[in-house]
Structure 1
């Protein structure tokens, strides 16, 4: 399946094919919902999504899983080094890192704005020092780099039937909605890492603070005030989904089943959290396999019909980008 995707995308260089295959494995291993939805895209577009996911996952692993002995300074240095390698690769100076090479190739093929990667890396650095957010506006500022830009990176790959700028706000909102969903699902795990992503003012409106969250996590005891705050967070998240939803119809028809499936599956996580009584401080809510399979089956049917009706939309893959030869005098602008 990987070879078919790479062939369809016009990726022939053996080393680059290996880079993309590495990113695909990261997506399959760590992004179950994301990977499932990606399978509904035309084969030619899937490697680009794997590359975008693979780089984001790699940066996230530096923040959270670099090693028990790695302190904030080590993680910051590793993030900075990753960003330097990406900047070099984007301007044609080869590096040795698969996720960087695949991402730079995707960025060139689909004309992804490099500033989106800079904003993403800035948000990753925030995670090293910022442990909570006083209000939603501050959280939203962080999520511009950690989530909204992911939607904006995806937009050139998905394609639009309107000018890209018209679809961009919806793509950004969808990225934010997905991340808010993850924040709610992972409250307990994030607390173990010393972070609270739910805005402090939302929690305070229901009489909740970090100390109460930590007490509940530590003791395993439930608290009605915490449940009320989590319900409010879910309501806020659904409002963002509602704002993002009209953007799906602005995408190219062959991309809509993928995004609509992701939309439904991530929304199902909110349903699972509610069905489990908002016990996210104590266990992770999981969407059942039957629900996932049913949603995926509907998405696959829609994807096949869209490809049959819009063969031209799949079109030939973007041409391989022209890569300038490395130069020792290349500019150093970030």
Structure 2
């Protein structure tokens, strides 16, 4: 393991490759940032991606594999993250770059620890019993990242209202992921649908991907899509606190990812026959649309409007 942290240019180049391989949607949205913010977003993404890959035995996504050493992987993730936060070389550019961006932006370390707690839930084969359980998981694996991204974009770490909106966008993204990936998760022996939801729909445990259950599963997917839309709408009220180019990127990402949930709902019972993606043409459409929304965003989505009643609240 190298005892020195690679130079920033090298770390940024690695992170740029990581986001290009791991998420076409986020890669496109990141191009709307100014250069400094864009590079920082790449550095944060590369760490998130690497942690996800360590946890799931993947390489920039793809089919999940069953890992026999989940706790050992989690321990490695924690050790490398701790070293990166301490400014020590880790021997891994994703973690080294993470340490750089955390120091540059003074991002509170608790959000990184919150994200890792999401991986800890997966490592012990956790399943959500209630809707609140599911949303807590969504916070750990995506809402916390939304908070980190907000600080990276210049939001004061003490600006609770704006961070709540940033968390909302992370929740919207993860709810879309859950709806889209029900089949893939089932193949990896995972299920993020609350047990209480399955009971309500009279779906036996482990049977939710059976053909005869599809009509009821489609109803649950629409429920997830509706929830994602509510959190996406709430998140837009935080864009007035962001610099124009950051708001442009966030609004574009919200639309692009929101289309995933909307398409899952539209496909109904066929939602899992083929993986749902947002076509490039539609992504470009959201880039243009988001750009037109930037000038009047504070009037259209005023930040002082209270979050809708019933939305899940992130922990202090």
Partner of 2:277: 286
The answer to whether structure 1 residue 41 and structure 2 residue 36 are counterparts is no
Q: Identify the match of residue 258 of structure 1 among 225, 249, 258.
A: 249
TM-score, length basis structure 1: 0.79
Q: Identify the match of residue 223 of structure 1 among 214, 224, 246.
A: 214
Partner of 1:130: 125
Cα drift, residue 300 of structure 1: 5.6
Bigger-Rg structure (1/2): 1
Residues 293 and 242 of structure 1, relative CA distance in 2, 3 Å threshold = closer
Cα drift, residue 32 of structure 1: 1.2
Secondary structure of the residue aligned to 2:100 is: helix
Q: Identify the match of residue 171 of structure 2 among 164, 176, 181.
A: 176
Q: Name the count of aligned residue pairs.
A: 288
Structure 2 distance, partners of 1:278, 1:34, is 27
TM-score, length basis structure 2: 0.83
Structure 1 stretch displaced more, 195-204 or 54-63: 195-204
Cα drift, residue 188 of structure 1: 0.6
Partner of 1:28: 20
Q: 1:170-195 CA distances to partner (integer Å, 9 max, x unpaired)?
A: 11111111011111011110111111
Aligned 8 A contact 1:20 1:99 in 2: no
Aligned 8 A contact 1:37 1:261 in 2: yes
Structure 1 distance, partners of 2:179, 2:229, is 12
Cα drift, residue 224 of structure 1: 2.0
**Which runs of 5 or more residues in structure 1 are unaligned?**
1-12, 307-334
Structure 1 stretch displaced more, 227-236 or 292-301: 292-301
Secondary structure of the residue aligned to 2:206 is: helix
Structure 2 distance, partners of 1:231, 1:298, is 25
Cα drift, residue 152 of structure 1: 0.8
Aligned 8 A contact 1:55 1:99 in 2: yes
Structure 2 distance, partners of 1:201, 1:290, is 38
Structure 2 distance, partners of 1:278, 1:132, is 23
The answer to whether structure 1 residue 57 and structure 2 residue 49 are counterparts is yes
Structure 1 distance, partners of 2:239, 2:110, is 24
Structure 2 distance, partners of 1:235, 1:210, is 24
Cα drift, residue 69 of structure 1: 9.0
Cα drift, residue 228 of structure 1: 1.8
Cα drift, residue 196 of structure 1: 0.9
Cα drift, residue 222 of structure 1: 6.3
**Which runs of 5 or more residues in structure 2 are unaligned?**
297-316
Aligned 8 A contact 1:62 1:78 in 2: yes
